[in-house]
Structure 1
Amino acid sequence: MSWVEAHGTGWRGGYRDPDGRTRHTGTFKTKRAAKAAGDDAEGKIRAGKWIDPTAGKVTFATYFETIWYPNRGGELNTRKTYLSHYRTVLGPRFGAKELRRILPSDVQAWVADMGREGVKPSTIKARVKALQTVLAAKKGASAMRDGLIERNPVEGVQLPTVVEDEPGVYTPAQVDQIIAAMDPWWRPIPLLAKETGLRWGELMGLTVASFELGFRTVTARRTIVETSKAESGNGTRFVWKDYPKGKRARTVGIRPAAARLVAELVAERELGPSDRLFSMPDPTLPADWHPPLTLIWTPKRTDVWDSGLPVSRAFYRTGVWIPAVQSIGLPYLKPHALRGSHISWLLAGGADLPTVMERAGHREFDTTRRYIGRMPDADQRALDALDKAMDQW
């Protein structure tokens, strides 16, 4: 039962918290207002929604560094992204502020400042989402779930409109040109990427045992994640993940010509069933075999990676992909564009959406939809289809 008592020149409500300790509301001018505040606090206690008003005194930096991040689960790269956001923007902006003092107006002012600084809308959205996850995630640790704040200060904040970028794709002929411009050691990577549409980590995780039916099918079961040495715990920047994105294995077919090339690769490099297909080459190769790039070589076979050190995504992009694209004068797209190109080719060739989604490992229709009509002749194909329909009638 709440009560009212005089406090200074006004009145304050009194009540007992879930542990039986005496608590007080703020000070009010009238007894009625003080009693209403006390009754409201008791109602929240009965409903299990009461928040200790002193709990939110912890600073954002202390909460993130000592409670939230050390206990946050999830993918290694996702954790790495949160840490990056914290170090670059969240910590400097909110680190010294008590959790209970972070207001919606503070978050809105931050969004406005980023806009004035020219930060891209998509980046602003990602940063605000990271803040929301720390303060009010519905799963895992968050300040709200830990009972440190009563409301989510990010809720209702207005964000700039994010205009969806149109994915860039290459034609099959352009991809063949890029592959031909590479050193032979690297050619199998883009060849299999354009043939299967697999993601980078899925490609790096392929072993000889991933292929079946005379190399006519390949199954992405595990992936290799690139992180920091501190996160990996094995002295390298690579770790295995026991499932691909989407959390289930998927099998895709390969055309006969590509299957033969994979078989030749396995024979040429003398790979066994458990060996991975793609790794860094031996440091004994001639110094001029690759584009000029300073390398710290690791032996091909190591104690941790007995079938070869995985290829770094950044090394491949900088030392292999970009020089090949530039050498033939094509516009630059990231290596990931091979995945989007593969999807676009399937759709342009008449493959139905459910089949393309399954092959690509997409769970959302909108993800696949972005690649419809991306080929240069897509509109002409549509007009040809329209002519054919008109002629039938």
Structure 2
Amino acid sequence: MTNALEDAVADFGRHLRAERAVSPHTLRAYLGDLADLCAYAAATGVAEPADLDVSLLRAWLARQHALGRSRATLARRTAAARAFTRHLYRRGLLQDDPGLLLGTPKRQRDLPGVLTQDDATRLLDTMDTQGPLGLRDLAVLEVLYGTGVRVSELCGLDVDDMDMGRRTVRVLGKGGRERIVPVGEPAVRAVQDWLRAGRPSLANEDSGPALFLGARGGRLHPTSARRIVHGRISEVGEVPDLSPHGLRHSAATHLLEGGADLRSVQEILGHASLQTTQLYTHVSAERLKQVHRQAHPRGTRFE
């Protein structure tokens, strides 16, 4: 049997699905975090939403820290707790919102791995495109790198989302936000080749309007797309192994290196906050410093 606190978490999950339209990944993460909170609360004798207070929340987070959870995990669990207590307060199950008293652990923002522009050219220009899957794989990588879309956004694309004439793609991003993203000519050509000579060979009654298909004809799954990216990159020598997110990082970095302004990159990537996009300015700065150290006669530090 579940207790009242666990029932409240289940209600919160329904709220996130129906009213907040959060991604499946975020939903799983938040509900997992709150299940851990419920277990901790039950161990301390708390089973009612009304008994949640800031002391219990802080003690739970302190235990997470003691267990060696990363700063990113602690930040996410703090965010989950705050969203949950805000939901309880609005539902009238708490007199006050204890989540407002929680500090937010500062997340460590590691610089993401990226391809060099030469690496990206070598990867995309030398790929084996024989057969329907070869055409699909090239189109997948060209679109990921050429637009900077998330892998979930790529797999959600329908055929009609790509406007070949205008060279744009309509993307449904996080929170159901729609945006129009420009697409380069190489990506357009790759998608056209896939639609002409690849997709018809795989399409069946399960395909629907999906732009990219798996080997059995259904909509391409993000797990399969990740496997495609890792596999294709591994075929190219001396190129760092990256995920689809690494191609997104590479696209953003190369846009900034080419002179794009930060606001434009924010709109292309679909970031809700400019602060997220600003991470890429640090990536570019690190790359510039590395070039300076290697190329400038006074760039190296005397030992």
Same fold (TM over 0.5): yes
Q: 1:92 aligns with which of 35, 39, 62?
A: 39
Determine the structure 1 residue equivalent to 2:162.
211
Partner of 2:210: 276
Change (3 A) 1:258 1:144: closer
TM-score, normalised to structure 2, is: 0.76
Partner of 1:68: 12
Alignment of 1:1-40 (within 5 A): none
What secondary structure does 2:93 align onto?
Answer: coil
Structure 1 residue 196 and structure 2 residue 196: aligned? no
Aligned position for 1:228: none
Task: Classify 1:133/1:373 alpha carbon distance in 2 versus 1 (closer, same or farther; 3 Å).
Answer: closer
- Which whole-Å CA distance do the structure 1 matches of 2:106 and 2:263 have between them? 30
- How much is the aligned-residue C-alpha RMSD, in angstroms? 3.0
Residue identity opposite 1:320 in structure 2: I
On the 8 A contact 1:321/1:335 being kept in 2, the answer is yes
Mapped to 1, the partners of 2:253 and 2:68 lie a distance apart of 32
Q: Is the 8 A contact 1:326 1:332 kept in 2?
A: yes
Displacement of 1:260 in angstroms is 2.4
Give the Cα separation in 2 of the matches to 1:363 and 1:149.
Answer: 30
- Alpha-carbon distance in structure 1 between the residues aligned to 2:274 and 2:92: 37
Structure having the larger proportion of residues in helix: 2
Q: Which amino acid counterpart does residue 38 of structure 2 have in structure 1?
A: G
**1:347 aligned partner:** 256
User: What is the CA-CA distance between 1:351 and the residue it aligns to?
Assistant: 1.6
Determine what percentage of the aligned residue pairs are the same residue.
24
TM-score, scaled to structure 1: 0.60
Q: Using the alignment, how far apart are the partners of 2:158 and 2:12 within structure 1?
A: 37
Residue 188 of structure 2 aligns with an amino acid whose one-letter code is A
Alignment partners' CA distance in 1, 2:56 and 2:259: 51
Q: Is the 8 A contact 1:219 1:249 kept in 2?
A: no
Instruction: Provide, for residues 318-344 of structure 1, a one-character-per-residue CA deviation record: whole Å limited to 9, x for no partner.
Output: x33334444535433321111121111
Task: Measure, in 2, the Cα distance between the counterparts of 1:159 and 1:144.
Answer: 19
Distance 2:262 2:102 in 1: 36
- Give deviations 1:67-92, integer Å, cap 9, x for gaps: 433444322514333322233x1231
CA contact (8 A) 1:197 1:342 kept: yes
In the superposition, relative to structure 1, how do residues 349 and 92 fare at CA in structure 2: closer, same or farther (>3 Å)? same
Displacement, 1:181?
5.8
AA aligned opposite 2:273: E
Instruction: In structure 2, list runs of 5 or more residues that go unmatched.
Output: 294-303
1:148 aligns with 2:93: yes
Letter in 1 for 2:288: A
8 Å CA contact 2:9–2:31 kept in 1: the answer is no
Q: Which is bigger in relative contact order (C-alpha 8 A, separation at least 6)?
A: 2
The aligned runs of 1:126-141 (5 Å cut-off) are 126-136=76-86
What amino acid does structure 2 have at the position aligned with 1:351?
A: A
| 1:167/1:340 contact within 8 Å kept | yes
Q: Which runs of 4+ in 1 moved over 6 A?
A: 380-383
Contact 1:348 1:378 in 2 (8 A): no
The 1-side partners of 2:89 and 2:262 are apart by 40
Name the structure 1 match of 2:230. 322
Q: Deviations for 1:265-322, whole angstroms, at most 9, x for unmatched residues?
A: 22113659x84321102xxxxxxxxxxxxxxxxx41xxxxxxxx122222332x3333
- Aligned partners of 1:100 and 1:194: how far apart in 2? 49
1:166 aligns with 2:114: no
From the superposition, tell whether residues 69 and 315 of structure 1 become closer, same or farther in structure 2 (CA, over 3 Å): same
Q: Secondary structure at the match of 2:281?
A: coil
Secondary structure of 1:251's aligned partner = strand
Tell me: CA distance 1:126–1:347, structure 2 relative to 1, closer, same or farther (3 Å).
same
1:293-332 correspondence to structure 2 within 5 Å? 299-300=216-217, 309-317=218-226, 319-327=227-235, 328-332=237-241
